[in-house]
Structure 1
């Protein structure tokens, strides 16, 4: 079997080679690549690689970026130290991965799976793009403070203190956990984009709520939900039937 290793840490690379040869001395490592640039250069030309081991973090970027430039016509097994949330995404997309530090038994199992499922283990570029978007979103710097007007001055308003945002007669307002209300000089769509989706959720066209502000979720007619918050809002906060399942999943995550 001819293998390519895409890895920028020499120690990790040497360890992988050692483990591969411990499992099967006939495995041939045909090249080592330590960057996105070198990988693009290699895979853009004819090659005889049968399997690729690829680290996610390389010297000049994320390895998923390689798939934006070239098609890798060989199965890829990622080596990663990412958290469980990202690993679930790998499983959902049927992408193979090995968690660092690499275990010999798990490596052997991955090689066995490769041998038995060769025709099914070629990942598409669209899958890689999806994973790249996911990693980028996880690394995104979300907004933590808004400058808001209060009488004749500007004050910093921490997003962690905001219970929900809503539209009131065309004007966006932020309501804090202590029931203070502030006018926002931005659209609700822009606010949604700037907030950490782990903490805030847009339940409908009028409301974005913070997870910690939710006190009770009530069933409503036609599969809809009513969300009660603290502080209480005078208007019903309704989650549509189309969003109800996703919202419950978000609250339960």
Structure 2
């Protein structure tokens, strides 16, 4: 059985590989990738492995994005320090998780469960898309996303409808900017956390520092280096967003949904 490890901490990846070899010598680690970008490149160039061990929070994004771009059918065992709510969602969907630091017995159980899934090839017991949805809502099948955010401006809190938000950006703090050009601080630690609360059909993670609303986009221009430049509507037209060459195909696909 071939397995891929997706983990941005080299020491953790090394220890995980050693533990896997101890638990099941029949598993061959065919690669270790340390970032979302590297993982996307890896899957673009290789056939999918039999099994994936994936951290959730990577240095340049969340590993769930891999499944947005590649239709993978192999089991995935997530290694995470996620909250209890997410852990419960994993169990409901029939896929185990490994809470860092990885426990040997838990690893053994997770691998055994993955083998059962591979033998049955049952979509009903293993569905990565369903897993991603379950992480976004207490029922496991989220039909709605966050409707309002509280914005802080000059120590005053203002509820802002999500439909009125043009983009979120990260400076030293996280900010949201409305379609009217109003700028508010939002009380979240990371853009990753905000991203999980938004409808992915409406908001796109353009880069590490920006989430943009599709309804705030005025036009998209191609650049000579295969990058894309996104121009927002007035009054936010001065905020240009560049989409990298690697992200450009996925961004175009998102615009066409």
TM-score by length of 2: 0.51
The question of 1:43 aligning with 2:50 is answered no
1:126 to 129, 132, 137: 129
1:12–1:140 Cα change, 3 Å: farther
Pairing 1:109–2:104 present = no
Name the SS for the 2:8 alignment partner: coil
Partner of 2:175: none
Q: Cα 1:110–1:129, aligned 2, differ >3 Å: closer, same or farther?
A: closer
Distance 1:66 1:108 in 2: 25
- The offset of 1:105, in angstroms, is 0.7
Q: How many angstroms does 1:146 deviate by?
A: 7.5
Task: String of CA shifts for 1:6-35, please: whole Å, max 9, x gaps.
Answer: 000011101101111111223210001111
Q: Distance between the aligned counterparts of 1:99 and 1:138, measured in 2?
A: 27
Rg: which structure is higher? Answer: 1
Given the alignment, which residue of 136, 140, 150 partners 1:143?
Answer: 150
Instruction: Report if aligned partners of 2:5, 2:13 keep a CA contact under 8 Å in 1.
Output: yes
Question: Structure 1: which 5+ residue stretches go unaligned?
Answer: 148-154, 160-193, 197-253
Structure 1's consecutive aligned runs of 4 or more residues displaced over 6 angstroms after TM superposition are 137-141
Alpha-carbon distance in structure 1 between the residues aligned to 2:106 and 2:69: 30
Alignment RMSD (CA, Å): 3.5
Residues 1:89 and 1:104: Cα distance change in structure 2 (over 3 Å): same
Query: Distance between the aligned counterparts of 1:104 and 1:111, measured in 2?
Result: 11
Cα offset, 1:72, TM superposition: 1.8
Mapped to 1, the partners of 2:83 and 2:146 lie a distance apart of 12
Cα–Cα, structure 1 residues 74 and 12, in superposed 2: closer, same or farther, change >3 Å?
Answer: same
Q: Give the structure with the higher percent helix.
A: 1
> What is the aligned partner in structure 2 of residue 15 from structure 1?
15
Instruction: State TM-score, norm by structure 1.
Output: 0.51
- The 5-angstrom pairing of residues 1-253 of structure 1 reads 1-47=1-47, 49-118=49-118, 119-120=121-122, 123-130=126-133, 133=136, 142-143=149-150, 145=152, 156=156
CA contact (8 A) 2:75 2:117 kept: no
- 1:31 is paired with a residue whose SS is strand
Distance 1:157 1:107 in 2: 45
Unaligned runs of 5+ in 2: 138-143, 160-185, 189-257
Shift of 1:73: 2.7
Rounded to whole Å, the distance in 2 between the matches of 1:55 and 1:140 is 29
Q: 1:141 to 1:51 in 2, by over 3 A?
A: farther
CA distance, structure 2, for counterparts of residue 85 and residue 132 of structure 1: 8
